[in-house]
Amino acid sequence: MTALLNKLQSTPQDVQTATDYLPYAQPRVPNTIWQYLAGGAGKGHTMQANLTAFDDVKLTSRPLADVKGGNSKLELFGQQFNHPLLLAPIAYQRLFHIDGEQASAMAAVAQSGQMVVSSLASQTLEEIIETANQALWFQLYWQGDRTRTLRLLNRAIEAGYSAVVFTVDAPVKQAVMALPDNISAVNLEPPLAININAHQSKVFDGWMAQAPNWADLAWLRDHISVPLIVKGVMHTEDAERMIHIGCDGLVVSNHGGRVLDGVPSSLEVLPSVVERFSGQTKILLDSGIRHGQDAFKALALGADAVMIGRPFIWGLASAGALGVAHVIRLMRDELEMTMALTGAKDLAAIKQLNLGKTIK
């Protein structure tokens, strides 16, 4: 087996966009771990659709527009950010760099943005937020029952996490590879045992017996005072019910194509959710963002912000916190350049472009 390359100590001069980190990241990560990061569910149709959907949205240049003093600032749930590019929750980040989630949090804060810390983080919630020195968001996976879930939530909130992103599209989340001995979900209790007999279904009577349902979502809303955002929304009827329960935000997401293959791209679903619920709740988009122009297109279709997943991990695997910060900066520059060339001075102006009619 070829020895892995050392992590970079500076950003490469030939990296001009996030995807340019790929040839630097892959040789610095063991192959099994790289396949875990890069892989999708089934035949990978949805993962690919997430990428190609952005090509269907066409832009129009608007030269001579006065955009001096423009910016990509926004406020979300009481926090001010300089751009709408949030770091999505990704598990076990010490698989990619020894500094793990702490490096990503440091980079997000340095770039005046936000990070969503996974339930499956490989460092403690307290260590990560102490490094960030600001309120982060916490991504929640249901922990098999209400008591265990509330213990984890209370720990995050007591540590200073200011919003909860409840992921509902992967009701049973398990590692799909054997983790190294020094990597684990350090914030979680041991999983509940699955006890079924020979005549029962492992899926319906085992895994799904420990999965959350609508009553659990309503219970969750009643038991926390911080903003509650639901991630994994792909149907307007589900979105309507979540808003009725009192959820503060929705993330249109198919989990990066990692859970159920064959569903539409997140971007295809976004306009229908925006059309019905814009102004009633905050709407974010996750899955397929690879470039600042992708973020622009999602914002133009009505998203309030977007989540970046794999690209920031490419930066982390290459150069730690420095690489993550560089990816965020590159994507923000791409976003703002697209804004300038289309005559959009701020995020509100992007929405006024009304690009929904251009998507197939």
Q: Answer whether 257's CB lies under 8 Å from 276's CB.
A: no
CA–CA distances in Å: residue 167 to residues 117, 254, 353:
12, 10, 31
Strand 305-308 to 282-286 pairing: parallel
DSSP H or E run through 48: helix 45-52
Cα–Cα distance for residue pair 334/53, rounded to 1 Å: 18
d(CA 331, CA 328): 5
User: For residues 213 and 219, what is the distance between their CA atoms, to the nearest angstrom?
Assistant: 10
**Closest residue by Cα to residue 266 from 234, 295, 241:** 234
226 phi, psi to nearest 5 deg: -80, 165
CA-CA distance, 143 to 119, in Å (whole number)?
A: 10
3-state secondary structure of 88: coil
141: nearest Cα among 113, 173, 114: 173
Q: Looking up tokens 């340019």, which residue turns up?
A: 20
The catalytic residue positions are 255
Residue 351: CB atoms within 10 A of its CB come to 18
CB contact at 8 A, 118 and 100: no
